[in-house]
Chain A
């Protein structure tokens, strides 16, 4: 029993215990959920040491046990520098979500917290699984609790949104399942590391057509989850209708399952197909960045605004991945984490406002800064982080992505940077409309400042934003090491295109196709 297995299965155990608790004791259930999720978080911190001290870019804390004999399916989990932080992001946000839902969830409390922990189980599993079957199992398992979280505890249009969310993901994962089984029939194994090694060494021969179709099968499943324009339409619905904890989990962790899949599976396994499609994917990512920002600007609903800002920010992540540069990869992962923290915090703060005023419409606010100065300050810092202000978390990610892209094809950087400017527009404008101006009598009456529980929720996130924005080196080294490994297969084929690349920009050589495009 390694530490990692403990982190994976503790939430499942907690889920089962909550199911066994009596439903007429809500306080017990809340306290137990908090204690359990905090325990998972603390245990997960113990994962940092082993990953940090393992060989750079290699998997650590590995467990590889047969699960089903035929077809050979293994329980194969391990962590590298990328999945480590994503797991910790999930374990950090779960206790925070428990706290967020402390009072705002007032019906079916037991089931709510049970589903929250089941969700944590699924999400942690997705980031650790190195067996495709296992990965798929976790991928789908995380879908079910989220469906219930949105559908039972959401706002007015919750049922429509929950079903839409489920069906979108289901359709995507159906294609992925075909891809997984197809790969198995070729390789005779579901093991990611073996398949990857087989593809690199040529032991598993994929024709270009096969590679393209397999790439697309995986890519569509992940792109729906990210979500990449134009597959994003489920996201605003799901985010807006979900309860605060659901929105936080969805935006901060679940969307990363998509980008993580792209980075871990799609690109390294099918490098040639990835390169062939990269041009189109990058264009979609840039459209997503600009479109998400523009649509966010005109939203009258705060949650919808934050949701569209996610479309925009996740566009950066995809852009970074499909630049196929070290900086781009690093930036993408960093942006995944930073977005997880800052957007999670934004949803939480919007949730705080909602609890006070019971409205998500921007128009029903104004002058909140007067009655609730600390709430406004917290919102200010979070918003600035989300915009990408230097010294705060998102800046590092966006900067690295833009730098990586600029090494490949400069005009893209220009378009993508538009997104940064636009994000300042919609965020500052939102802030101005909600927090400045003269507060109405009615609003002042409802608007209390942060309470103790709310400080406990938001302060750690703000500290983390500052930490991630300043002491980058406490996070980046294992990420870079793992990215270098993932980048390998794409780099390996650089010779084919090397002659088209100018000699002074080595990163460009990893990107022959784009050099041609120029």
Chain B
């Protein structure tokens, strides 16, 4: 036995001993499910990892610490429910869930401080956390995501879908999205990269908004912030008409257009057209700076 194998064996031995000493338990359960059924998962603390597969069943594996009472798994009329149950009294504990679901399932995950990750799910996803982070792979169906303070990372494959993302203070990173995007945050940062966008609505109070992507013909783009900066690099084959206004921020662009002032009143505006002007772009801030470029 080589040194590395011996070290690995010792590590596993100690990990098992530690798990037994801390009262950790494991849980496994498989239930039949419909290919296009509904799967609801809830957990308070720990992790929730969901992956899509081709089998018509839901498989649940969990590691539970001593503060967790049990895991309930039930299925009824195409709806499968996986719920981590905590005791009524006590501080509760962590549960690490790994759930495999039919890939076309309609998935709903609710968590408090548990981190959530999904991959390979092509059905509609609804993901909610309070403080847990969310990492999700977009599968071409709609996504509705809400987090209070958790950070969000989304990765798509350029398939159009309706994406609705909102956080209070969490940052949002979206890569290779497409279709219709509505994203809002109070103090988090929005970083959005879209392969092809039909409509974009981005709103923040104090967080910055960064957008990079390509707009389809006739796309609508609307971004507002009170004190956050707007940095938009949007190309469009058929161009767009743009209208930028800010009360006390600065406006800059990569095509040498000069903003105009509002007479004796504070504020700047910049209006014009790039290309054929088929799309529409509105960027507004109170004190945030605005940058617009028509090249990615």
Q: Do A and B come from one complex?
A: no
Which A residues are within 8 Å of any B CB, using their own CB? none
Which B residues are within 8 Å of any A CB, using their own CB? none
